[in-house]
Amino acid sequence: MEKMNHPYQSLFKHSQFYTIPLKKEAKEKDRYCIECGQRLQSGASFMTLSKSSKRHQGLCVGCKRLFGIFLSDPSAKTIIKSRLLLPEKKKLGTVVSKSGIRKFDMLQYLALENIIRVRNEIFLDRESHLVMTESLIRNMKQRHMKQNWPHSQPESFPTSKELYDLMRQSDSTCAVSGTLGLWIKGTHWHPFKLTIDHIIPVSKGGCYDINNLQVMPYSLNQVKSNESDDELRRWLENFRSSRMKYGQELQQNIFAPWRLSYVSYDILKYELKNRQLDHAWTAKDEQEFINLLDNELSKVYDFINAKLSEIDARILYCERTIQTLRKNPGMASEANFGIMDEALTEILFDVNDLSKFTRVNFVAIQKILKKHDKWTHIQLKQAFVEKLREKPLDKQRFDVAIIYISALHDICRNRGQQSLGNSASGGDQNAFERATAKYWIHPDNITEVKAIIMLHLPVLIYNKQKKWEPSDSAISSVYFDNSNFDLYTTRLQRDEGSEAIRFRWYGPKDETNIYIERKTHHAEWLNGASVKDRFRLKEDQVDAFMNASLTPDKIAHDLIQSGLKKTTVDHIHFIARGVQQSFREKKLEPMVRAYYNRTAFQLPDDQRLRISLDSDLTFIREDHLDHMLRRQSPQHWRREDVGIDYPFYNVQKKDILRFPYAVLETKLQTHLGQQPPEWLTSLTESHLVHEVPRFSKYLHGASHFYRERLALLPWWLSELNVDIRKPRAENRGLTRSHSFRPLIDGKYRRAMIEETERENKKEVVSKQSEHISAQHSSSATEVNDISYEPSYNYDMTKKYHGLPPVPPEKISETKTSPEPLNSLENLSLLDKLFTRKKSDIEMGSGPKRVGVKVRVEPKVFFANERTFISWLQFCALLLTVALNLLNFGDKTSRIIGGIFIVLSAGIAVYALYRFEKRAWMINRRIDGRYDDLWGPAVLCLLLVVALIVNFYLRFK
């Protein structure tokens, strides 16, 4: 069995054992438990790691009790001290290792290493039963008497036989954690002694029933006692997840319909382990194992490609159907758009399932490679990198599919109409107040979070005039600082006037537009408001700007020559002069590059709510502080050997940091009284995200690469030692029913839409945002985006965070044309926005409904019935005439009578059909024609034909 490097061994090896002193702390609510990583609640305490240690660590109630059990009881110390395999000496106080092992592994270590020999045997002697029964009755009587409970008679409690049956059914296994225990008679203390515990506290009543009892080891019983429901549930969930092996975790995360397509982790592990137990690992074993692993990788990769092709085809089908609905008003009913909306939701769930499938299999292969290298001492993980490059699982991106779905979803939400406004304009960006919050998202949850946001906000397409490519989401920024890290220190301390200067570009490395950006905290020239301003240069001008050969005066002169307004030129001059002054006085040089792929969500022309999600966040060194030449010359502003080829295998390991999580940022305008929508609050409070206030990309990258040079470090570094994954909350996020139907927060899509509509009736918010001046308050943020292009006319448009390059005539067409997208008749919506390449996919609350449902008056149904009855009256009259002709006429009359009978029957069937169709349309509030355009005309025509036939037969 794999041996564990247990974090408590250093503590147990110490010559003396100390009872952990507990002391109260005033700010304990702002701290996290060192063991389980959760925020401390009431009843939590702080512990000292030793008598000589001045460092304190917070413990929650459950962790505190478990420490007390194992370190204060003499028999527990004896068991631990005599059984643990002690490692090399370490300093006392190294309790929690970097790998994140916690108290739960202490129990796992004791149980799995068989330090306590467990016998699946229950003592059957009468003495044990009497002792247990008497103890239980005595305990419950005392508690009931304290609460003045009348039901305290012994006959109300379980009998000895019931207790024995409960013990036997448990098979010496804890009902909560699954840990094996030991039945011990008498009062002998033992951490794994099994006891009978109450599922809910006795004081709540009803606990004397056998159904409210469960088997649990003594240690867990003590931790569980007096816990609040929420604390106990969280503690036990952490216990289950922390002691679970990866094979078990993999089985729990398997999506049942795709079970056969997952990596055969157990088979790979069996082959790896069984061969070594049988004989020494040979070259033949190595080759066969590589072939087996390669086959599993190919199986997974081929399945992903097949599913992506299937998803692609389904999206194209939905696109063609939606275009047909939009071109045919008679078919463009609310019900049909609702059907397409549900179809797109089903596709979105499949994308989410496929993303999780990819992630789970990638982790499984990494785990098995790690076990191989550890057990065989052969470094296969590095040698296998080439195969992972050929069939990448870590580079599978689903952004293209999500954006496809978002574009169609937005049309369905608006019942065939596109969201009004420009997708990239975002309204007036000169000044606005906003509340910003930042969160970390575990890779397991990235696609699910994107899908949830997309159901309420469309993906923001910055430039709809060009085909969207995966590289369009790439953002690269080079941050500048000096060798003393003055900008880092002032930003971390949030000093007045602190700056952050970066050069940013969007898309591939050969992008020619470089944005010179400066963020100032509480700028003096804006009366203490924080500001972010920038202007644009060409790539070949950046070095000249850095070394001051391209001066602000030269920039201003060229802009005036291009015909730009003087006020704008003055502002550009002010920004350029301030940035160059910082370069000159603070001796700034390139330090860290930050790269990430951004997916933005926002309603067009609506700045009230904007959400961005940055994934694949990577930090790369750009400096020469260690005398290593990374840039072509010290005067150049960036490295040329690094592009956007994540995960940047060409960069040396010491020069790169791949951030383990994605970063979610929400920006909510507060000066308009905007409150976070309910769905966003539900998301941010769910298990899918982990809040990290004031997280900064530059501060994090600098603190990693230059830690020995920095006096202060960001507070969130300790959060990286905590597993931010939380137990999955019930009815939160994207799930499936037992029949695999999509559920959103535990509800079907249709139910969620109806609930949203009910909320919309209560409160109507204007779509047009009001904007305020630049000098507003200390929380105002000004964004100035100005371009400097001497060779061309000045262009105020931006590729990101600004207006797309739309000619004036296009703007007028957008405002007046009833069609949501230009040239849709000749060009597919998605073909216009995206490049239809399979390789691209492999690499990778909206506007309210136009019509609000209203109550249908009963007279509408009565009118439909009266119309139907009128048609039946005519049929009855025609049928009477036909019967008279049949019964009392000659041969010619009988022929005419037969024609009228057929005609009468046809009219009756047609009238019934129209009646049922109108009733169906009224029930579903479908917008369409309720009058009968062709029925009366056809009826008159048939009657005329019948009369002509009658006259012809009579007078021929």
Tell me the pLDDT tens digit for each residue of 817-840.
Answer: 333 333 333 334 444 444 444 344
For residue 771 the two structure tokens come to 């904007």
Distance of CA 622 to the CA centre of its chain: 31
pLDDT for position 192: 60
Residue 460 contacts residue 425 (beta carbons within 8 Å)? no
Residue 201 contacts residue 139 (beta carbons within 8 Å)? no
Residue 250's pLDDT band (boundaries 50, 70, 90)? confident
Over range 99-113, report the average pLDDT. Answer: 35
Domain boundaries, the chain: 9-112, 126-244, 258-405, 424-443+455-729+765-804, 858-955
For residue 578 the two structure tokens come to 């301030």
Residue 505's pLDDT band (boundaries 50, 70, 90)? very high
Residue 455 contacts residue 611 (beta carbons within 8 Å)? no
Over range 293-300, report the average pLDDT. Answer: 90
pLDDT above 90: residue 481: yes
pLDDT for position 179: 60
- Start-to-end CA span in the chain (Å): 107
Q: What percent of the chain has pLDDT over 70?
A: 59
Q: If you write DSSP's letter for every residue of 276-287 in order, what string do you get?
A: HHHS---HHHHH
pLDDT, the chain, mean: 69
Over range 915-927, report the average pLDDT. Answer: 77
Neighbouring-strand partners of residue 217: 194
Of 64, 269, 697, 798, which is the active-site residue?
697
Residue with tokens 């001290």: 81
Alpha helices, H only, 279-333 = 283-327
For residue 609 the two structure tokens come to 């709510």
Residue 688 contacts residue 441 (beta carbons within 8 Å)? yes
pLDDT for position 856: 58
Neighbouring-strand partners of residue 434: 669
As a whole number of angstroms, the distance between CA 521 and CA 474 comes to: 26
Residue with tokens 């010179």: 516
Residue 360 contacts residue 262 (beta carbons within 8 Å)? yes
As a whole number of angstroms, the distance between CA 340 and CA 799 comes to: 32
pTM score, whole prediction: 0.56
pLDDT above 70: residue 887: yes
Residue with tokens 């004081």: 203
* Radius of gyration from C-alpha coordinates of the chain: 36
Residue type, 813: E
Residue 772's pLDDT band (boundaries 50, 70, 90)? very low
Cα dist from 388 to 296, 369, 875, whole Å:
12, 12, 76
Q: For this structure, is 815 an active site residue?
A: no
Over range 935-951, report the average pLDDT. Answer: 82
Architecture, CATH, for domain 126-244: Orthogonal Bundle (1.10)
As a whole number of angstroms, the distance between CA 724 and CA 177 comes to: 21
Helix 399-413 to helix 334-376 angle, to the nearest 10 degrees?
160
Q: What is the pLDDT of residues 53-63, one digit of tens each?
A: 344 455 565 55
For residue 565 the two structure tokens come to 């307004």
Neighbouring-strand partners of residue 735: 743
Over range 281-302, report the average pLDDT. Answer: 90
For residue 879 the two structure tokens come to 């049928």
Residue 165's pLDDT band (boundaries 50, 70, 90)? confident
Backbone angles phi, psi at 298, to 5 degrees: -65, -40
Residue 194 contacts residue 176 (beta carbons within 8 Å)? no
Choice among 161-170, 480-489, 602-611 with the minimum mean pLDDT: 161-170
Neighbouring-strand partners of residue 860: none
Residue with tokens 């000098």: 775
Residues in contact with 773: Cβ distance below 8 Å, sequence separation at least 6, in sequence order: 431
Residue 41's pLDDT band (boundaries 50, 70, 90)? low
The top-level CATH class assigned to 424-443+455-729+765-804 is: alpha beta
Closest to 347 in 3D by CA, of 840, 732, 742, 613: 742
* Residue 175: half-sphere exposure toward Cβ, Cα within 13 Å: 19
pLDDT for position 411: 84
pLDDT for position 39: 57
Over range 487-511, report the average pLDDT. Answer: 88
Closest to 218 in 3D by CA, of 236, 198, 191, 196: 191
Q: What percent of the chain has pLDDT over 90?
A: 9
pLDDT for position 591: 93
Residue 923's pLDDT band (boundaries 50, 70, 90)? confident
As a whole number of angstroms, the distance between CA 838 and CA 184 comes to: 64
Helix 61-72 to helix 74-83 angle, to the nearest 10 degrees?
80
Over range 265-276, report the average pLDDT. Answer: 84
Helix (H, G, I), strand (E, B) or coil at 611: strand
Residue 441 contacts residue 494 (beta carbons within 8 Å)? no
pLDDT above 70: residue 33: no
Alpha helices, H only, 763-857 = 808-816, 829-833, 838-842
Q: What is the pLDDT of residues 517-575, one digit of tens each?
A: 998 887 777 776 777 888 889 888 898 998 888 888 888 888 888 888 888 888 888 99
Residue 387 contacts residue 354 (beta carbons within 8 Å)? no
